[in-house]
Amino acid sequence: MKLLVVGAGLFGATVARERALKGDEVDVIEKRDHIAGNIYTEEIEGIQVHRYGAHIFHTSNQKTWDYINQFATFNRYTNEVIANYKGEIYNLPFNMNTFNKMWGVVTPEQAKHKINEQRSKMTGKTPQNLEEQAISLVGTDIYKKLIKDYTAKQWGRDPKELPSFIIRRLPVRLTYNNNYFNDLYQGIPVGGYTQIVEKMLNSPRIRVQLNTDFLSNRDMYLEQYDRIVYTGMVDQFFDYELGTLEYRSLHFETEILNVDNFQGNAVINYTDSETPFTRIIEHKHFEFGKGNKNKTVITREYPAKWEKGDEPYYPVNNSENNHLFTQYRELAMKRVPQVAFGGRLGLYRYYNMDQVITAALQFLNGDFFKVEENN
């Protein structure tokens, strides 16, 4: 079978590798000048720099963890994020250290009491949006200092207009545990993420072409390939004919500094409204200070409005957009049944890396390729 994979990110690479192992000849095209999509890392001053924002691998799915471990050894990095609110420092995610700093409470019982006091207006109500969900989880003080402005900066809209699931990504704990994630497994791949994708694509049956945009030659590709797996934006594939899905973009500003240690932590979030960026990443701390002792590399992450032509980093999964996505899905099934849409953009989902791998493996077990095999 002639298979084309559009996009050399994690979804595309997983599909390409697994189909090549089954004997398919796979062409992978990628419009950027490098593989690995948004998990791309590159070495600068002996440090693996995450070009598209901090990427920490975490999962509770044993199969997915075993899968990714074929391609890398993971270090024991645990993400412990610091929040800086106008110079006040708090631990994230919301835990006893946060509550102690905010209110002086010491025991879980005292913290619970304080949260209950502050969430009383939510008693018996189901949270309808991110603001209500946040207040219902951690009360008004934490909402005001650590969530409201950060969220408004990140998404470019009031938290009242955002779905509540976004804030449920963060754990709330009545323990002194600063781990940003609840998952069983977590770490950073030694040597970075790019080499993982390199290994996945390293097969005599896979040909990768960079700087190649599917949409510049759509008809030719549709004609030439039996099956296409498309990991770009589904609305762009159809020239936005049903309307435009919303995305959120980012702008990254990376700097090499002549100091050993700039901020003392890998990730510091700036949760006030005046600071224009949301976070600063200091990459060497993902690898416990590895690299040049007199230099460090930092990246400021600025949220940005997405417009056609910008990088679409985040889908905005409110009900209108999700509904429009469903319509695109139906259109795709009718008009181009030989094309499967996958990954964060093709499926329009706020997927983490492990979810992308899990989704790709599930997709590979589905019917899309079986039709061809049965013929």
- Contacting ligand UDP (CB under 6 A), which of 6, 16, 115, 147? 147
Q: What would the x/- binding string for ligand FAD be over residues 205 to 224, using CB under 6 A? A: --------xxx---------
Cα of 137 vs its chain's centroid, Å: 23
Specify the pairing of strand 279-282 against strand 296-305: antiparallel
> Residue 265 to residues 83, 148, 231, 282, 343: CA-CA distances in angstroms?
11, 23, 33, 7, 30
Are 285 and 330 a contacting pair, CB within 8 Å?
no
- Contacting ligand UDP (CB under 6 A), which of 13, 28, 170, 324? 170
- Contacting ligand FAD (CB under 6 A), which of 3, 16, 20, 29? 29
d(CA 318, CA 308): 19
User: 205: helix, coil or strand?
Assistant: coil
Q: Which does 151 bind (CB under 5 to 8 A by kind): ligand UDP, ligand FAD, none?
A: ligand UDP
DSSP state of 285: G
CB of 83 to ligand UDP, least distance (A): 5
CB of 4 to ligand UDP, least distance (A): 30
Q: What would the x/- binding string for ligand FAD be over residues 39 to 78, using CB under 6 A? A: x------------xxxxxx---------------------
Please give the structure tokens belonging to residue 61.
């799915």
Q: Which residue bears the tokens 């905010």?
A: 102
- Contacting ligand FAD (CB under 6 A), which of 22, 31, 144, 329? 31
Answer left, alpha or beta for residue 260, where phi above 0 means left and psi between -120 and 50 means alpha: alpha
Q: Which does 115 bind (CB under 5 to 8 A by kind): ligand FAD, ligand UDP, none?
A: none
The interface with ligand FAD within residues 127-166 (CB under 6 A) comprises none
First-to-last alpha carbon distance for the chain, in angstroms, is 11
Q: What would the x/- binding string for ligand FAD be over residues 336 to 375, using CB under 6 A? A: -------xxx-----xxxx-x-------------------
- Ordered DSSP codes for 28-74: EE-SSSSSSGGG-EEEETTEEEETTS---EEES-HHHHHHHHTT--B
- Contacting ligand UDP (CB under 6 A), which of 3, 8, 29, 92? 92
* Site for ligand FAD, rule CB under 6 A: 6-12, 29-32, 37-39, 52-57, 213-215, 231-232, 250, 313, 343-345, 351-354, 356
Which chain residues interact with ligand UDP by CB under 6 A?
Answer: 83, 92, 146-147, 150-151, 154, 166-167, 169-170, 269, 271
